[in-house]
Structure 1
Amino acid sequence: MQLQILLLLPMAFLLPPGAQAGEIIGGREAKPHSRPYMAYLQRKTCKGEEKCGGFLVREDFVLTAAHCADGDITVLLGAHNVRREEETQQRVSVRRKIPHPRYNKTSIENDLMLLQLAEPAELTDAIYTIPLPQAGRTVDSGSVCSVAGWGKTNRYTSTSILHEVELEVMSDETCQEDRQLRHNYKPSKMMCVGEPDEDKASFSVKGDSGGPLVCDEVAHGIVSFGKKNGSPPRVFTRISAYVPWIKKTMRGLSSPGSYAESPASLR
């Protein structure tokens, strides 16, 4: 079932890196723990507490957006309602933040970051990893994928409960021909998502930046940025372009406390 979603973007420009994450408006509540890979990132910054999404790709690594790097981050796994203590939840501190070495705040290129957890998550029915795509693999335009996150459910109402929405993957030309997106959109590194003629898309202003675009149970994209009026399409980081870097980085930091390779040596 494709869901209608009203996009709201009270900003004058493309969502800047480091803006306050994202929200899912007009979606539906997810079935509790049906997305065991989801991670809720609590960020303590100079502006107060902010949030992002992320997803577990290995017991000791969460993948998210590089523009979520500011502040001290605590990762909450196994959550459905992030404002309640649930037996399924595990709260883990972050040992290292590893943004992609070529992340560019201005062009919003290479907007991804690995978080090495201070200790591996205990995998359960409510906490589990999601597969990454094969390097270079693309998703056909017209494919229906999904995004989930914790954020507002309408213009005025916030929620602490995980919500989800289904989205259509668009052709690269859709974003390349959009006058607000074309200067930042890089087909080899980004995905164009959301039908322009319908109010369906994800949104990245308060809660969901860094969350995964899931297609056939594989994480293919990372919520990244949108345009000034909030209308679709919006842009996701294309994970398949970064699989070699992701795997090399995790291998180099193979266990919590391992300092065999520094992040700088993995560039």
Structure 2
Amino acid sequence: KTNLPLEKISLLLLRRRTGGKIISGIKTKPHSHPYMTHLEIITDKGYVANCGGFLISQEFVLTAAHCKGRALSVCVAKESTWQKLDVKEQIIHPEYSFSTSLNDIMLLKLPYLPHPLHSPCLRPSTFILPGRMCRVAGCGGTTVTESVLMDDKSCNHFLFYSRNLHICVDNPRKRRSAFSNPQGNSGGPLLCAGVAQGIVSYGHTDAKPPGIVTRIFPYVL
């Protein structure tokens, strides 16, 4: 595992700039979200865990830093099947904190993928207004959950919530959140009109809304 300076992470993310466990999600057709990946993780303690992530280039996956592990493999879509690849390098944000979940963002370097790339646009907005409908994709792209962007006060009860680094997500009228903390397929993207605005980070352990998404914008400028 490698910690790189913030500016190097930004440069890696900018290459594509032009271009929790999902709960109550809607199942989608296989490979309808070919940029989605499924992470299989061997944790530092030897347990097996899973996360989501998404391709941003033909050799990099963007995911959450809490999905790090002793060893990782990534399943990516290849035509009508899946291809399993061992992660060559885990590039964790140097200021990621497990205790606060701040800077919960990580790049995974893969062997170069020769087949055509399908990835969401990485031109996130500085701030997107509450009330906007977006989507959270998880489980390797097999489920999609519609989510509402909430105002900051809806997430102020989270001790380390930061409006500069986080997006408050979900609809309080729903009984269950789009994702829960800390297991499953967190690490997947929050997509607003096809643009990746965030990465699923954490929520309440009982899966009640709202939940927290790491805002991508601060890391690509």
Say if 1:122 and 1:225 are closer, same or farther in 2 by CA, change over 3 A. same
What's the TM-score, normalizing by structure 2? 0.83
CA offsets, 1:107-142, max 9 Å, x none?
A: 11000000111x212334xx52222124x5222211
Structure 1 residue 97: Cα displacement: 0.4
Structure 1 residue 161: Cα displacement: 8.1
Contact 1:42 1:51 in 2 (8 A): yes
How many residues are aligned here?
A: 200
The letter for the 2-side match of 1:191 is: I
1:105 aligns with 2:94: no
Q: Secondary structure at the match of 2:30?
A: coil
Equivalent residues in 2 for 1:150-189, closer than 5 Å: 150=139, 162-176=142-156, 179=157, 181=158, 183-189=159-165
Structure 1 residue 227: Cα displacement: 2.4
- RMSD of aligned alpha carbons: 2.0
Structure 2 alignment gaps of length 5 or more: 1-19
1:147 aligns with 2:146: no
1:114 aligns with 2:111: no
CA offsets, 1:40-67, max 9 Å, x none?
A: 0011233432111000011110000001
The structure that is strand-richer by fraction is: 2
Say if 1:227 and 1:206 are closer, same or farther in 2 by CA, change over 3 A. closer
Alignment match, 2:123: 133
Contact 1:59 1:129 in 2 (8 A): no
Alignment match, 2:77: 78
CA offsets, 1:88-117, max 9 Å, x none?
A: 322222111011111011111000000111
Query: Whole-Å Cα distance in 1 between the matches of residues 30 and 37 of structure 2?
Result: 14
Say if 1:228 and 1:40 are closer, same or farther in 2 by CA, change over 3 A. closer
Larger radius of gyration: 1
Structure 1 residue 210: Cα displacement: 0.6
